[in-house]
Amino acid sequence: MRLVYMGTPEFANPSLIKLHQSSHQVVAVVTGPDKPAGRGRKLQSPPVKRLAENLGYPVLQPASLKEDRFQSYLADMAADLFVVVAFRILPDALLLIPPRGAVNLHPSLLPKYRGAAPIQHCLLAGETITGVTTITLTSQIDAGDILLQHEHPIQPDDDYGSLAERLATIGADILVETLDSLEAGKIQPRPQAELMTGELPRAPKITPADLLIRWDRPAAVITNQIRAFSPGPGAVTFLDGHRLKLFKALAVPGQGEPGEVLGVSQGRLQVGTSEGVLEVAELQLEGRQRMTVNEFLRGTHLEPGKVLG
């Protein structure tokens, strides 16, 4: 099939590589605009753009998906299908262009965790199983019929970075399998309504409030929060008024006042919570690099009794 591929972040790159290696023909790649980044605020291309250019594909970066000129260009591509991985919401006019519609790869076991941040919310909830799902795109967000689905275990030491990397790889395989099966007429789309029982968890966009650590929660809950936002943007607390990001921690037995530093010795930093103790392993103080607790304590005087938050 002739395809137009749409995606922007690193997560979408394995799928583009797999499609490049498949029997399908990518005729154009649509991605987000270049954005200023880093201390110099220089414009940087999104990961999918850099990969697409290396693979030799035409790249489109429309300011708006509703531009007539952009939509006319896509229509002229005569693609059979649009493939969407980690991209913006498509307007109805775009969904009507390709005769076979559009297929989306979603990193969750739909209909659970519909929304912009499924991997983060899955980790926040302490799930031990997640997966990837391919669906037909409709005007309703993440609500299209399920084409294929694959479960995948979440390891206790997984964070957002490690889990997203694996789901991107697994998703790339299931995406190509989906397109092969669609072309061969071997898929029977399944409405999500058939799988909806009771109230399902959702995955709305992450806000700054989601990052802030509340020490009056159990250590296990805070650990999940840290996993969900590592390696970025980082779960946040405060030390003497300075922002302190935590990237790796473990819930251990013990007790202490929420937020109170209980132990500082031999590379260990233990903090009290409402239930259990949080043992911090990696962190970053405002204005400094991310480091291990051992490195942090060599340059910071921190005594038991100090309260974080």
Q: pLDDT tens digit string along 184-204?
A: 999 999 999 888 888 899 999
- Say if CB 82 and CB 102 are below 8 A apart: yes
Q: Please say whether the beta carbons of 81 and 103 come within 8 A.
A: yes
pTM above 0.85, yes or no: yes
Q: Is 17 exposed, middle or buried (0-12, 13-18, 19+ CB in 10 A)?
A: middle
Tally Cβ neighbours within 10 Å of residue 128.
Answer: 11
3-state secondary structure of 87: coil
Return the structure tokens found at 300: 């910071």
pLDDT for 197 equals: 81
pLDDT digits (tens, 9 = 90+) for 203-216: 999 999 999 999 99
